[in-house]
Structure 1
């Protein structure tokens, strides 16, 4: 669960720049990353391209620093080593990262809308990262939002902090930190004890609400699940690429079942939007993704991550396949080329590591 947030970290699009700053795999401090991020984005002011000025824009160095912290919470940055984290490495394997590499290198400029808006593959990527890294808090919030359909920010903050937050803490924190759970369970009582609205807004508890809850609803906006319907108002996005019932299903799953469903049944509605990938398209893309992943993971290319990333790469090519199709394709070619395509256990014995000898491999 993401424990450190700030009310201004509402736009996931900015996060795509940060892995590109770490691509050389040398450690970089958060302050350095924040300074470079701020320098890159500070000159972009084309709000006219957007229907309304979004919240969460980087306008000061402190905003950039807060986004770097969020990148670490999402494992785009390895917090301990100050290098690329798991999801940072995975993002750099996406074709869409090339735009931000060029931006970082000074070879191109981007409009504000380019910095903020996510394409379909990126929406699924960040949904994947959020549902892993903010489990189970984001799941509870997502489920509530879908069931409500339409709501105001104040109502959402109260649910998130007085119901979802205590439940999430109780699920993830050890008994040694039970005091934090007990404190969260008293949030409602403390809010109701503050009778005056002005005093409530000035309170430290309101500040905590504002920093923790609203960004998560904005992340769901960026992922295409919600949309803003007025000042402080949200509603389920009727134009979303997903099916609301499948979102509810996804939000109900345990952590170890998320990948299989997110890249399986959850994607069924996208088959109406994208061309179904053939066997050749699947394996060619899988090999391309493997080559990219090997650059960042070496010999530790996890098979499940490879297959999930292949689906995102296909979507970037305007094609679609589900996890079962990707897995069947891998197995089929592994049977055909057993000495060049196979799976081995990791050192821990828990993960399946893919190996593909791509030299002179004729598909």
Structure 2
């Protein structure tokens, strides 16, 4: 298959691009390489895919990889209404995996416009291109953030998600509604994935586990919100990648709640882990104690996340099996080598 992966210089986009290439698919990666976090990490990910920095910085030019013969990369924004349709027209994709988005709950409090531009305008452009250029299946990133302050756990896709507590969550809920309407109106298949706290090597520096590791190494206090009384469904990146790849390769499958051409799935570990236990595991890997700066609850944050992944397991044989100890050991080993 020929697959467009947007957000290809990002954490999950990099991994899924690499995995699809290793399975013999043709992949075109797209990313605007914005400066939400250190762009050198994004260039380093692309370098792992055979795209050097000198070529990656060029806008709207399709560059072939030196390492993977079936990989090309284009620097482009989803908001580009002129060049994005041209890319679709020329490349004739079978499947689109849309992972490009402005991420982060806390940053949405500071720069809301970035979320509207990328997550709403950009996603609309993706939907328009899918309907106009005969895309068979759109797989796109949603988020566990859509569940808001839901205290019924584990979270199921049948739960109400009508009360988001951050703009980021609101844009992701909007993506689900937009995809549902386009699937209904124009007949192409869409699968939304509600990601649950993905971590691992090559991860995002704005994520807590990344900054925790950096600060512990440098003897700096780490901010622990809600006095540590938080829990997350921490999911290792390779488990996430395996799930996305299965959905792309096996094709669209409707779940029980979302009928017709649109599906929504939770994709996570399926287990809630206390934040303090997560920190202790990092301390163990680094053989160093953290300096804890206990903080109140952060605006837009939630107390606990926990994914019910039953439907994904049933329809796609998705079965995450990476333990927290194994996953964090892999991350800290990578961090000490590369950072």
TM-score, with length taken from structure 1: 0.27
* Greater share of strand: 2
Query: Which of the pair is proportionally richer in helix?
Result: 1
After TM superposition, the score normalised by the length of structure 2 is: 0.28
